[in-house]
Structure 1
């Protein structure tokens, strides 16, 4: 019973104690041999026999084992099958009854040795040229990196297409350059993003870290060229300076600039109108040492500040800034101003080439300070890196102590007044045409089932409400008319009179005789009370 349980336990835990198969990795080294290894994680416990074959080939045992502590850990075999170089490659490890097979795609597993014969030279074209050698270079792409004065490597690295074994650095300075190159299989012949780069080549150097021969040149105001070579420090020796434009003869500096009797610069005329923006070449010579450099003058033109800068308040109520600059049709400008010594208004205001004025619309009467500067226009060779001149001398207009708020235009109060006048005029017109009526309507209370005095519904003032209370009794009014006794008795008129109750008041309303058509007759009769005709009013 115990034996059965033990056997069952071993069967269930067999996968835990089973040996993990070794993983074989292969690289094609420099297109010369295949290097396979199976000790990536750890050294194997047993000696495996290694077999390999390409598709449609017979299996071959490893001709040259690589070992560690007498244990086989890899294999190195020739890679001469040109036709099968990038075919599937099969491997097999065998030990006793155990065998482990694996298929490898060699296209992504090619690694070259670093390039050789790496050299760097300063060419006649004033450029730095890096050259190297790599096998099968038509199938190999490369990558170059360099750094200056031991600073970090310049990035990104610079690619070089397959079939090319050189690289050019344009117009290097005379600082210390350190360069390296590496290679990998080109993607056109099977390589890809996962292709392996070779190690970097041995570095090559050019220049000197302590060199003080870096020449910088400026075209000053289109009148002369100012070159200097003391940017970092004063040179230790006196260099002779030469310069020339393309297809021109080499000339020595006509006027040196010096510091403590050491030449540090050169000033020479700039009168070659046709060559003004051509490449300019310089050369420093001292004994057997010479340093050449090519300069692009388009980006190195610097003007003097504009002159004759004036500001005027025009008849159009605008502020006009004017100035003068040489070759103004080739020069763009920039204006800046500030109010009451506050920070300069930004961004600065551009002025196109050919224009030498600027307008500030409807200025306030505060203190204005204005300046202008210039540079070569991009249409004639300038660009973003072109040099601005220094700012001109400032010009002023207005007064800082003005009682008018500098942030308010002179037209602002005028517009406010005009708007108020128009509003008042509209109100008067509406009132004149009885388009506006103000009616006060009291709130009508909600009716109640209980009867209340109607006067309580209205919200009258107390004094006005008391005036509606009457204490006098009303007086009834009656009108009396005399009627004839018989129809035969003729009478030209009748007399009517009105009386009222004499209790509280006495009112008599006689009939106006003038209203009768004729005069009364002398014959009258007395009317009895029963025959009275009452008319109540």
Structure 2
């Protein structure tokens, strides 16, 4: 009896759950997904996704759940707008991204099916291997930007890359929504670069003026294309401060009365910057680095008077003024050298090193030229038998050698005249 009652209870629960799931499924089918999901760009800094609202939702407070996939990061949002706008710094604008939107009946918590759009923001239809590679830009001395790149692997031999650029001070996209445009329609709105560098007749770099203050936090977008549908455009977004390479400081250094070295520099044209001082001692191979200096001078204490110090300084943008945390150091300034004072101890050490060296060199020379030195000290005695005459008494009497070298005989050539035996007849 008890077992029959348990089976009846389980059957009732199963029927109830099945009925509930069926009713929920019917309500799920009631809310259709959004339609006509499209992509455009509200200027070069703001990608925009748009869709049409779900139909037959009169009894529903409709909202939309967006999922944005880029750089292996999933971002979610929820709102009643039928569009989603983001800033280009949030995505890798040269790779394919996925955007998914789902309708939500907020008062009943009913969801529709997903609508997903696969988007290539740089909407050129060319082969990706025709796009430029190894693209980079440097902002030199807050005066001009130099961009360089390598042609694509499959780029046509006569490809003519063209660089356009846009600047903005906005970190986020504006709230108002303009009519989104396609990428190629926005190219004429950019500034065109004209100072190109070439390699084998193909543009591989360009330089353009860009004079801004560091504090302005300017954003920079560049696009490289050739106006051809065969070549895929390349888009590059960067915080301008992160590619700024400032001028090296002009420095001076001197010794103070309290035994320190004072290094100062004049670089007041820049704000929100940090300096690094590098000091080298003559008695050490290890450099001393002083980083994170936000003033215009640095004092190095306990400087030995008999040591030579060499100092140089470089500068970069402060990390507080840029968003992505990458910096470029300037070149090092000209070195400033402070000579150390020499003393008697140094001279004594120098002599102790030089004297043994001189002795060793002299000994080597003596060993090499010992035979010649022996000849100079003990000259060779000539053999009297080869020099003197056999009559030694006559040599002693006259007091000089009687030996004379034989003179060379003069030989006169002789010629013979032959007389003929017969004389010619006389006429």
TM-score tier, shorter chain, comes to 0.5 to 0.7
Cα distance in 1 for residues equivalent to 2:30 and 2:337: 72
Say if 1:202 and 1:371 are closer, same or farther in 2 by CA, change over 3 A. same
The alpha carbon displacement at 1:159 in A equals 0.8
Number of residue pairs aligned between Structure 1 and Structure 2: 305
CA distance in 2, matches of 1:111, 1:362: 82
Q: What is the rounded CA distance, in whole Å, between the counterparts of 1:12 and 1:330 in structure 2? A: 82
What secondary structure, in the 3-state scheme, does the structure 2 residue paired with 1:158 have? strand
Q: What does 1:349-368 correspond to in 2, within 5 Å?
A: 349-352=292-295, 355=296, 357-364=297-304
| TM-score, normalised via structure 2 length | 0.54
- Aligned partner of 1:147 in structure 2 is 70
Q: CA RMSD in A?
A: 4.8
Partner of 1:227: 147
For the residue of structure 1 that corresponds to 2:264, the secondary structure is: strand
CA contact (8 A) 1:235 1:264 kept: no
Q: Normalising by structure 1, what TM-score?
A: 0.45
**Contact 1:176–1:209 (CA under 8 A) maintained in structure 2:** no
Q: Which string of whole-angstrom CA distances, capped at 9 and with x for unpartnered residues, describes residues 300-320 of structure 1?
A: 3221433x4454322232111
1:316-353 CA-partner distances (Å, limit 9, x unpaired)? 3211123454725664423344763347557x24123x
Q: 3-state SS of the aligned residue for 1:327?
A: coil
2:302, 2:279 → 1: CA distance? 15
Matched, 1:170 2:88: yes
Q: Render the CA deviation track for 1:383-427: whole Å, top value 9, x for unaligned.
A: 67363324516666678x99x9xxxxxxxxxxxxxxxxxxxxxxx
* Alignment match of 2:315 (pick from 367, 374, 387): 374
Cα separation, 1, equivalents of 2:198 and 2:292: 40
Relative distance call for 1:301 and 1:112 in structure 2 (3 A) is farther
- Contact preservation (8 Å) 1:127, 1:169: yes
User: Which runs of 5 or more residues in structure 1 are unaligned?
Assistant: 1-10, 26-35, 39-49, 53-72, 80-108, 405-537
**C-alpha distance 304-362 of structure 1, shift in aligned 2 (>3 A):** same
Higher relative contact order (CA 8 A, sep 6+): 2
**Structure 1 counterpart of 2:285, from 302, 320, 341:** 341
Partner secondary structure for residue 389 of structure 1: coil
Contact 1:118 1:204 (C-alpha < 8 Å) held by counterparts: no
The superposition leaves residues 85-132 of structure 1 with CA deviations (integer Å, 9 ceiling, x where unpaired) of xxxxxxxxxxxxxxxxxxxxxxxx899555432222234344322122
Deviations 1:223-273 (A, max 9, x none): 211123449979653212234668x98654232123443212211234578
Gaps of 5+ in 2: 169-187, 346-427
In the alignment, what sits opposite 2:377? Answer: none
> How many angstroms does 1:359 deviate by?
0.9
Of Structure 1 and Structure 2, the greater helix share is in: 2
Q: Distance in 2 between matches of 1:230 and 1:323?
A: 39
SS for the counterpart of 2:116 is: coil
- Rg larger for: 1
CA distance in 1, matches of 2:87, 2:222: 17
What SS does structure 1 have at the residue aligned with 2:11? coil
What residue in structure 1 maps to residue 380 of structure 2?
Answer: none
